[in-house]
């Protein structure tokens, strides 16, 4: 086994909406050992994941914080769940399930509060991991080895939400945000699945296509791959752009909560604590066991002694048909996503692989199998619960030791259009006359339009360099930097992307800042314009790299790469 780079400890964090996981490994070892953390405060000692939940002694953050399995229902304390979704709040607000079945637990409303909660939770995960290392026989040796963290995020998240996750990780003590690795949850799960493919468990052949459906607690993400090479490195490319939606397993709980509120909300013994206890009982004793059969009866303990409908001695009896009704609105959405992904691929899909916490549910698997038909197999790989965190760790190991890679994603499909705006000569035939302005260096009328350098669903890893031109009169002085806006646009149809920055759906991601003193002399020159006015002229190329869950930009001048550029998000 080759050893690339310095020795380090890689820590993968599957930061989930309802449950989170941690795994780690040490680089430069002859035998690679990957460890999943199973020991959590107040846990059983054998739990693959820990609840993503925080509780405080009062409404003030950081006042008596407890987390995970330590949290018990207590109306005197402030409890927060599902705060992860607050990093990209628009995604939940725009979904039908979120509107129809809002959360029954407290959700933070201010952006700063969301980030405080995420930092607190990530800090708890990091501190628990460090305690795990301290208990190992060789803890003194491990203490001096630098850590490198890799965090998973939903593939559907915006670039700003991805950046906010990294910023929170930095505040949680996981290193500078630009050094924190980030990978989309479905790609991480796919990497874990691909490891099984290498063992020939799925009999995949060249050009076979498969879909990975990561059905988690809050979000469901899908990604499709086509096998492009088998040996010595298993190579795949994305078959189409991925998709995702806020329709995870937590919404089954919300549908159940709506039923409880409407049915028993007027009972004298009803309270928020009764509702929370009922949801926990439902999660443990019904939701995890439900297989779609309607001839069963399920029982859970509730805080109401009796009710003429179906509660006797504080035991609620639910028919299988009732439980099915709790599941169906959620599974309907997941089924829609899967069928849309199958239609979007350009090749016949061989199988759909279900991973994630909700992905292990038998009723979900059976419903999807019926929906896709006999020609496509729906399967559950081993360890569906830990597929994401294991895949993130594998990816981190490959990045640290590239020569040992056994799995490689060759290209990804852009989920959006990406581009910038620039001044071009005004054309009366194609341009909006009201937008034209007096010319600069060129003299003729000009207009500011969008220049898309990456097209949605375009397969790429590193985009073709995009030329950028800038001018300014010498009389106005040379600025310290050139600001280059970066835009995105997610199309919902095959129509052409917008032409102007202020059109509907166009999002300004942020600014690339090019420091003038970082440019080589050949990139900056003076020339006389058409009206004998002297101008500074700058020509350079920008190259965007599409990673699993992030974008990077590089500056090129005359084909030579000079430095990485930081995108300052709006």
* Confidence at residue 106, expressed as pLDDT on a 0 to 100 scale: 64
For 430-473, write each residue's pLDDT tens digit: 888 888 887 777 777 888 899 998 999 888 876 678 888 788 88
Q: Using CB atoms within 10 A of its CB, is residue 129 exposed (0-12), middle (13-18) or buried (19+)? A: buried
* Confidence at residue 439, expressed as pLDDT on a 0 to 100 scale: 72
Could you give all domains of the chain from N- to C-terminal order, each with its CATH number? 9-184 (3.30.420.40), 415-568 (2.60.34)
pLDDT band at 91 (very low <50, low <70, confident <90, very high): low
* Confidence at residue 60, expressed as pLDDT on a 0 to 100 scale: 63
CB 236 within 8 Å of CB 227: yes
**Rounded to two decimals, what is the model's pTM?**
0.88
* Confidence at residue 332, expressed as pLDDT on a 0 to 100 scale: 97
For 312-364, write each residue's pLDDT tens digit: 898 999 999 999 999 999 999 999 999 999 999 978 999 999 999 899 999 99
For 353-390, write each residue's pLDDT tens digit: 999 989 999 999 999 999 999 999 999 888 888 999 99
CB 20 within 8 Å of CB 123: no
For 189-205, write each residue's pLDDT tens digit: 989 888 876 655 567 88
- Among 395, 392, 360, 396, which residue's Cα sits nearest to residue 378? 360
* Confidence at residue 430, expressed as pLDDT on a 0 to 100 scale: 86
Q: How far apart are CA 183 and CA 186, in angstroms?
A: 9
Say whether 342 sits in a helix, a strand or coil.
Answer: helix
HEC sequence for 73-111: CCCCCEEEECHHHHHCHHHHHCCHHHHHCCCCCCCCCCH
Q: Which residues contact 165 (CB under 8 A, 6 or more apart)?
A: 15, 87, 118, 151, 153, 157, 182
Phi, then psi, of 139 in degrees rounded to 5: -60, -35
């Amino acid at each position: 086994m080759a050893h690339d780079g310095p020795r380090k400890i890689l820590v993968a964090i599957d930061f989930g909406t309802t449950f989170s996981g941690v795994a780690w490994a040490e680089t430069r070892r002859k035998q690679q050992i990957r460890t999943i953390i199973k020991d959590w405060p107040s846990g059983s000692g054998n739990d693959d994941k820990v609840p993503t939940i925080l509780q405080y002694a009062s409404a003030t953050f950081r006042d008596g914080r407890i987390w995970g399995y330590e949290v018990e229902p207590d109306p005197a304390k402030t409890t927060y769940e599902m705060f992860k979704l607050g990093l990209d709040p628009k995604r939940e607000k725009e979904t039908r399930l979120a509107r129809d079945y809002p959360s029954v637990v407290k959700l933070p409303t201010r952006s700063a509060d969301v980030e405080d909660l995420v930092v607190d939770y990530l800090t708890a995960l990091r501190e628990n991991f460090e305690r795990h290392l301290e208990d190992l026989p060789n803890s003194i040796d491990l203490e001096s080895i630098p850590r490198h963290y890799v965090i998973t995020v939903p593939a559907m998240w915006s670039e700003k939400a991805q950046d906010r996750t990294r910023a929170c990780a930095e505040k949680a003590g996981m290193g500078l945000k630009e050094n924190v690795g980030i990978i989309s949850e479905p790609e991480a799960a796919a990497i874990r699945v691909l490891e099984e493919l290498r063992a020939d468990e799925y009999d995949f052949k060249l050009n076979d296509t498969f879909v990975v459906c990561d059905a988690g607690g809050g979000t469901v993400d899908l990604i499709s791959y086509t096998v492009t090479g088998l040996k010595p490195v298993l190579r795949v490319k994305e078959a189409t752009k991925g998709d995702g939606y806020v329709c995870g397993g937590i919404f089954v709980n919300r549908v159940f909560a709506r039923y409880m509120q409407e049915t028993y909300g007027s009972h004298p013994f009803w309270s928020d604590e009764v509702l929370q206890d009922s949801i926990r009982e439902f999660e443990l004793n019904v939701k995890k066991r439900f297989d779609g059969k309607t001839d069963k009866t399920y029982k859970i303990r509730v805080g109401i002694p009796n009710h003429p409908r179906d509660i006797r001695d504080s035991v609620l009896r639910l028919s299988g048909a009732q439980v099915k009704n709790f599941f169906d609105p959620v599974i309907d959405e997941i089924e829609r996503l899967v069928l849309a992904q199958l239609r979007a691929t350009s090749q016949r899909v061989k199988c759909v692989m279900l991973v994630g916490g909700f992905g292990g549910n038998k009723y979900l698997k059976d419903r999807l199998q019926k929906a896709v038909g006999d020609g496509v197999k729906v399967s559950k790989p081993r360890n569906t619960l830990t597929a994401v965190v294991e895949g993130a760790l594998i990816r981190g190991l490959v990045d640290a030791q590239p020569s040992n890679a056994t799995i490689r994603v060759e290209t990804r499909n852009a989920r959006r259009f990406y581009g910038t705006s620039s001044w071009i000569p005004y054309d009366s035939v194609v341009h909006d006359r009201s937008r034209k302005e007096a010319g600069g260096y060129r003299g003729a009328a000009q207009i500011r339009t969008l220049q898309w350098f990456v097209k949605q669903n375009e397969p790429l890893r590193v985009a073709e360099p995009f030329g950028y031109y800038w001018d300014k009169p010498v009389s106005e002085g040379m600025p310290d930097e050139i600001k280059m806006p970066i835009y995105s646009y997610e199309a919902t149809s095959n129509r052409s992307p917008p032409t102007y920055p202020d059109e509907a759906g166009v999002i300004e991601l942020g600014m690339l800042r090019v420091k003038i003193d970082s440019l080589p002399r050949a990139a900056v020159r003076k020339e006389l314009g058409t009206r004998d006015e002297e101008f500074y002229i700058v020509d350079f190329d920008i190259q965007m790299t599409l990673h699993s869950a992030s974008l990077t930009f590089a500056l090129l001048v005359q084909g030579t790469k000079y430095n990485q550029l930081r995108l300052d998000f709006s």
